[in-house]
Structures are given as structure tokens and as C-alpha cells.
Amino acid sequence: MRITQSMISSNSLKNISDSYRKMGQLQDQLSTGKKITRASDDPVVAMKGMYYRSNLSEVEQYKRNLSELYLWMENSEAGLEHANDGLQRVRELVIQGSNGTLSPEDKQAVAKEIGQIKADLVNVANTQVAGRYIFHGSDTGNPVVVQDSPPTVADNVGSPAIKDYRVEVSRGVFLTANINPENVFSQELFDVLGKIEAVLDPSSESASTFDPAQLNLDSLLKDLDKQMSGLLAERSELGARYNRLEMVESRIGQQEIMASRVLSDNEDVDLERVIIDLTTQESVHRAALSAGAKIIQPTLMDFLR
């Protein structure tokens, strides 16, 4: 096979062009920190990167869902604690009101304080977070209690129509964010408070709804204890779900670390290796230019110019 000057020149230029291309790729990797800048550079890496990035985005969304669950549960816990403190105070006042030495004026003062606690419990039941009622299950757009006299609990509280407010924390796994309002802010609770108020102060608004002559504080105290037991049970159940939420958060945190590492291994370059390869390629490129300058000899056309 006859080797001509044009073949030597052509091959030399082709090799120099390939050397420029390799240096360009290494420069891109060094500046971006990524193995590829377009899918055509390495379709396999690009395809895996899409899958890994989708998985990481999914984990990050679950983390945002966990934040919403924490917001609901922590506000629910604060509301239940406040309600429990209020009912504890009512219990103390009922025992105090049962004292036969209290004058009608003293009992009236006790009844007024109970009335204020009842009104405060209505506000707690209608607690809103980001414009949503957190104690009303999935019916977050409507209050649990209507502030009438006496307070009226929504008809759908305790009804199958009210579903739990559930948040997805993993693929196919949901956690309930809300408490059951029927176990805490039921109509029975506000009726018991109204009856206690009516017994202690026959001139109160509650006395127009509940007949004080048909009531006694001892039986009402038992009813109050029953309501407080329901609240404590619901609070315990909320605490158990909160503990599970913390375990789920720990597991999702580990998943995020693993997903980030896999994505990094697939796409990120080893900077030390890229720097060494680029330095080596630059040396090879200079040698190719030097060799090409010696190989490509002047032709007759160069002398005829």
C-alpha cells in the first residue's frame, strides 16, 4: 500500500482533532463535575441518572410530607394538652363547687370560670393550621364546633362521613395526621360542661337549656372523668403515632443518603482522576502537534506560492 503525503496529513489532522475532542470532554467534566453534559455522551449513564434522580425526588417529597405530619401532630398534641389542663381545672372547680359552705355568689363565680373554660375549649377544638381545621378529620374546611349557646358540635363528627386525614410517607404507606374529634371534642363533653355551669348558676344561659333540678354534681363529675379518660386515651394514641413518625423519618433519612450516594456515583466525576487525565492529554496533544509539524513536509505548491 502506497502511503502518500496527503494520507499522512489527513491522519495527523484527524488525530489532532480527536485529541482536541478528548481535552474538551475533560474540560467539561472538570468545570461541571459531571461525567456527561448530554445524553449522547453516555446513554447508559443518562438513563440510570434519570431513574436515580426520580427516586431521590420521591424521597425528598416524602420528607416534605413528614414535615406536614409533624406540624399537624405537634399542634394536635399542644391542643390536647391545653384541653386536658382546662378539664383538670373544671374538675377542681366542680369539687370546690360541691362544698356546701359556698355561697350562691361563690358558686356563680365558679360557674363563670367554667363558662370561660368551655369557651376556650371551643377555640381549641377549632384550631387551624395553615387555614385548615386540624381536629375535624378530612373535613378541614369546616370547624368542629359552632360557637352557639350552648356550643354545637358538627353533625358529621363521629360519622363515617368524616375520614382520617392521611399523608403518604412511603410508597403505599400512609400515616394518620388527625385525632378522632369524637373522643375529645364531642357534644357530650360540652353538654357536661353546660350542665355543671347550670347547676352552679341557675341564672346562667346554660340553665335555659339544662334543668338544674334534674342534675347533681356527683354524677356530672363522673361524666367529666369519662370525657377526660377519652382525651387521655386519644393523646396516648397520638403519642404512639408520633413515635412511629420519628422512626419513619429516620428510615427516609437513610434512604435519602443512599439515593444521593448512588446518584453521585453514577454522574459525578472523580476530580483528581480528571485532572490527571487532562494533564496527560495536554502532554499527548503537545507531542502530537510537534510530531505533526515534523511529519507534514513542505510540498511543491508551497514553493510555487
Counting the structural domains of the chain, the total is 2
299/255 same-domain check: no
Q: What is the CATH number of the domain that holds 142?
A: 1.20.1330.10
Taking CB atoms within 8 Å and a gap of at least 24, the contacts of 291-299 are 291/12, 292/12, 292/13, 292/15, 292/16, 295/8, 295/9, 295/12, 296/5, 296/8, 296/9, 296/12, 297/5, 299/5
One-letter identity of residue 87: L
Element (H, E) at 286: helix 271-295
Residue 225 and residue 91 in contact, taking contact as beta carbons nearer than 8 Å: yes
pLDDT band for position 246 (cuts 50, 70, 90) = very high
User: For residue 303, what pLDDT band results from cuts at 50, 70 and 90?
Assistant: low
Q: How many angstroms separate the CA atoms of 151 and 88, rounded? A: 20
75 plus 185 within the same structural domain = yes
pLDDT in tens, 183-205: 899 999 999 999 999 999 888 88
101 and 181 housed in the same domain:
yes
How high is the pLDDT of residue 90?
95
Examine the domain organization and report whether 179 and 255 are in the same domain: yes
| C-alpha pair distances (Å), 11 with each of 6, 153, 199, 290 | 8, 88, 107, 14
75, 96 contact by CB (below 8 A)? no
More confident position, 281 or 115? 115
C-alpha span between 155 and 132 (Å, rounded):
18
Calpha distance 112→106 (Å, rounded): 10
158 plus 62 within the same structural domain:
yes
In a domain, 128, yes or no: yes
Per-residue model confidence (pLDDT) at position 112: 93
Domain, as residue range, for 285 = 270-305
